[in-house]
Amino acid sequence: MVSFELNDRKKIGLGLTGFGVFFSFLGIVFFFDKGFLAMGNILFISGVSLTIGPKSTMQFFMKRQNFKGTISFGVGFFFVVIGWPVIGMILEAYGFIVLFSGFWPTLAVFIQKIPILGWVFQQPFVRSFFDRYRGKRVPV
């Protein structure tokens, strides 16, 4: 079994990723405030880079199957910075879904193991939805 060593760099990376998600949430709550959204994007990308390392980050974003998501996320970030946050967030959301679609099976298994929430996700109609995507490879 492979253990996930949580050194200081990874702790800082996870913190930056969390703050990035928080600032993006604040940007959406405050009617697509471009300052919060841009700060959230910068923190999220730097947090992911610190968590998995710069080499793995470049390999992940430059994979052929992730290229559409990378371009969409980058163009969305550009639109947020120039002052069109709604269009930028739509493009970023699409890019995020394309980039991280390989993690959904792992997330589904994790959610099914949470005590109370897991019971809901283990119901037959919900489980059939999750079973459709299980067995795919995680992209990192």
pTM for this predicted structure: 0.75
Contact 132, 59 (CB under 8 A): no
The pLDDT tens digits of the residues spanning 82-127 come to 999 999 999 999 999 999 888 877 777 778 788 888 888 888 887 7
The percent of residues in the chain predicted with pLDDT above 90, rounded, is 61
DSSP state of 102: G
DSSP state of 66: G
**70, amino acid identity:** T
DSSP state of 122: T
The percent of residues in the chain predicted with pLDDT above 70, rounded, is 90
Place 135 in a pLDDT band, splitting at 50, 70 and 90.
low
Residue 1 pLDDT = 46
